[in-house]
Amino acid sequence: MADNSGFPECEVGDLITSLGDSTVLSLTAENDITKGSPVYLTDDLKVSPSNGTDNAIGIALQTVSAGEQCPVCIRGVVKVTAGGAITRGAAVCSAANGKVAELSDQPVDEGGTDTYTIYYARKLGIALCSANADGDLILILVGK
């Protein structure tokens, strides 16, 4: 695991931009959430950890238990864990195990008809640093 973020003093899930340059929402956790994990809306104003197949809305800035309020960065620069190689400047989406992955248009087989996932709905942000392998630490600009 390499820290490619340029901010070795910061932890995964730390907000790098100032609060004035970021947007953070306080949402209710429906499940336990780990700091630095992508989260998605499970109900009105409620979030859960993303499993990589949903439309994540942001990154959890704090570890919380179910029922607690969770600060979620929906716009700003956050340190995250990569789920594989990511090219700087590429769009990223949520991945399994609290990580992010490079987003690509992939056809989805829906009963013999190839359709494409809605790119803008899956997009979590833009990679500001490259990741070479699973577990590398990078910065992303979160923004739908």
Using one digit for the tens of pLDDT, what is the confidence trace for 95-124?
Answer: 999 999 999 866 555 565 655 556 778 899
pTM: 0.90
Residue 1's pLDDT band (cuts 50, 70, 90)? confident
What are the structural domains, with CATH classification, of the chain? 19-143 (2.40.300)
25 has pLDDT over 80: yes
Structure confidence at residue 32 (pLDDT): 98
Scored b (16 or more CB within 10 A) or e, 69-91 reads ebbbbbbbbbbbbbbeebeeebb
Mean local confidence (pLDDT), 15-21: 86
